[in-house]
Amino acid sequence: MSIIFYDHLVVKSEIEQLLAEIDEAENQKGKTIQLIDDIIFQGILSFVLEKLEPHHHHVFLTIVHERPYDPEIISYLKLHVGSDIEEEIRSEADHLVKMILSDLHSED
Protein backbone atom coordinates (compact mmCIF):
# COMPACT_ATOMS: atom_id res chain seq x y z
CA MET A 1 0.00 0.00 0.00
CA SER A 2 1.12 3.57 -0.57
CA ILE A 3 2.17 5.97 2.16
CA ILE A 4 -0.68 6.95 4.47
CA PHE A 5 -0.87 9.93 6.81
CA TYR A 6 -0.64 7.72 9.92
CA ASP A 7 2.19 5.39 8.81
CA HIS A 8 4.65 6.91 11.31
CA LEU A 9 2.27 5.88 14.10
CA VAL A 10 1.92 2.20 13.16
CA VAL A 11 4.53 -0.39 14.14
CA LYS A 12 4.10 -3.56 12.08
CA SER A 13 7.55 -5.05 12.64
CA GLU A 14 6.22 -8.06 14.56
CA ILE A 15 3.75 -8.82 11.77
CA GLU A 16 6.46 -8.45 9.13
CA GLN A 17 8.78 -10.73 11.09
CA LEU A 18 6.08 -13.36 11.50
CA LEU A 19 5.24 -13.26 7.80
CA ALA A 20 8.91 -13.56 6.88
CA GLU A 21 9.06 -16.82 8.84
CA ILE A 22 6.00 -18.34 7.18
CA ASP A 23 6.69 -20.84 4.43
CA GLU A 24 4.38 -19.43 1.76
CA ALA A 25 4.83 -18.20 -1.80
CA GLU A 26 5.82 -14.54 -2.06
CA ASN A 27 2.63 -13.65 -3.90
CA GLN A 28 0.59 -15.14 -1.04
CA LYS A 29 2.62 -13.14 1.48
CA GLY A 30 1.98 -10.03 -0.63
CA LYS A 31 -1.76 -10.66 -0.55
CA THR A 32 -1.60 -11.16 3.21
CA ILE A 33 0.31 -7.91 3.68
CA GLN A 34 -2.26 -6.08 1.54
CA LEU A 35 -5.10 -7.50 3.65
CA ILE A 36 -3.32 -6.46 6.84
CA ASP A 37 -2.77 -2.94 5.49
CA ASP A 38 -6.46 -2.77 4.54
CA ILE A 39 -7.55 -3.92 8.00
CA ILE A 40 -5.37 -1.29 9.66
CA PHE A 41 -6.57 1.41 7.23
CA GLN A 42 -10.23 0.61 7.83
CA GLY A 43 -9.71 0.33 11.59
CA ILE A 44 -7.96 3.69 11.86
CA LEU A 45 -10.47 5.44 9.60
CA SER A 46 -13.32 4.04 11.69
CA PHE A 47 -11.58 5.13 14.88
CA VAL A 48 -11.00 8.67 13.58
CA LEU A 49 -14.58 8.97 12.34
CA GLU A 50 -15.81 8.06 15.82
CA LYS A 51 -13.69 10.89 17.23
CA LEU A 52 -14.67 13.51 14.64
CA GLU A 53 -17.93 15.40 14.80
CA PRO A 54 -20.20 14.12 12.00
CA HIS A 55 -20.15 17.45 10.15
CA HIS A 56 -16.37 17.00 9.63
CA HIS A 57 -16.65 13.47 8.17
CA HIS A 58 -17.09 14.50 4.54
CA VAL A 59 -14.12 16.87 4.52
CA PHE A 60 -11.89 14.33 6.28
CA LEU A 61 -12.84 11.47 3.95
CA THR A 62 -12.42 13.68 0.89
CA ILE A 63 -8.92 14.69 1.95
CA VAL A 64 -7.96 11.08 2.73
CA HIS A 65 -9.35 9.93 -0.61
CA GLU A 66 -7.55 12.63 -2.62
CA ARG A 67 -4.28 12.84 -0.64
CA PRO A 68 -3.92 9.90 1.79
CA TYR A 69 -0.20 10.67 2.18
CA ASP A 70 -0.69 14.32 3.21
CA PRO A 71 0.79 15.03 6.68
CA GLU A 72 -1.64 17.96 6.94
CA ILE A 73 -4.35 15.40 7.71
CA ILE A 74 -2.83 15.08 11.18
CA SER A 75 -2.98 18.87 11.54
CA TYR A 76 -6.65 18.77 10.51
CA LEU A 77 -7.34 16.10 13.12
CA LYS A 78 -5.48 17.99 15.83
CA LEU A 79 -7.64 21.01 15.08
CA HIS A 80 -10.95 19.12 15.03
CA VAL A 81 -10.34 16.25 17.46
CA GLY A 82 -7.56 17.33 19.79
CA SER A 83 -3.82 17.70 20.07
CA ASP A 84 -3.43 14.16 21.43
CA ILE A 85 -4.90 12.50 18.32
CA GLU A 86 -1.52 11.13 17.23
CA GLU A 87 -1.16 9.25 20.51
CA GLU A 88 -4.74 8.02 20.23
CA ILE A 89 -4.12 6.75 16.68
CA ARG A 90 -0.88 5.11 17.83
CA SER A 91 -2.76 3.35 20.62
CA GLU A 92 -5.52 2.20 18.26
CA ALA A 93 -2.91 1.00 15.75
CA ASP A 94 -1.16 -0.99 18.49
CA HIS A 95 -4.50 -2.56 19.38
CA LEU A 96 -5.16 -3.48 15.73
CA VAL A 97 -1.67 -4.95 15.31
CA LYS A 98 -2.13 -7.09 18.45
CA MET A 99 -5.45 -8.39 17.12
CA ILE A 100 -3.88 -9.23 13.76
CA LEU A 101 -0.95 -10.98 15.44
CA SER A 102 -3.38 -12.98 17.54
CA ASP A 103 -5.28 -14.03 14.42
CA LEU A 104 -2.09 -14.95 12.60
CA HIS A 105 -0.84 -17.02 15.53
CA SER A 106 -4.18 -18.85 15.82
CA GLU A 107 -3.82 -20.00 12.20
CA ASP A 108 -0.60 -21.88 13.02
Q: Tell me the mean pLDDT in the region 33-39.
A: 95
The whole domain housing 61 covers 7-106
CA–CA separation, 78 vs 83, rounded Å?
Answer: 5
> Mean pLDDT of all residues in the chain?
94
Does residue 67 sit within a domain?
yes
Q: How far, in Å, are 27, 32, 35, 101 from residue 20 at the CA level?
A: 12, 11, 16, 13
At residue 102, the pLDDT reads 95
Does residue 12 sit within a domain?
yes
Does residue 76 sit within a domain?
yes
The count of structural domains within the chain is 1
What type of residue sits at position 11?
V
What type of residue sits at position 102?
S
Does residue 2 sit within a domain?
no
CA–CA separation, 5 vs 74, rounded Å?
Answer: 7
Does residue 98 sit within a domain?
yes
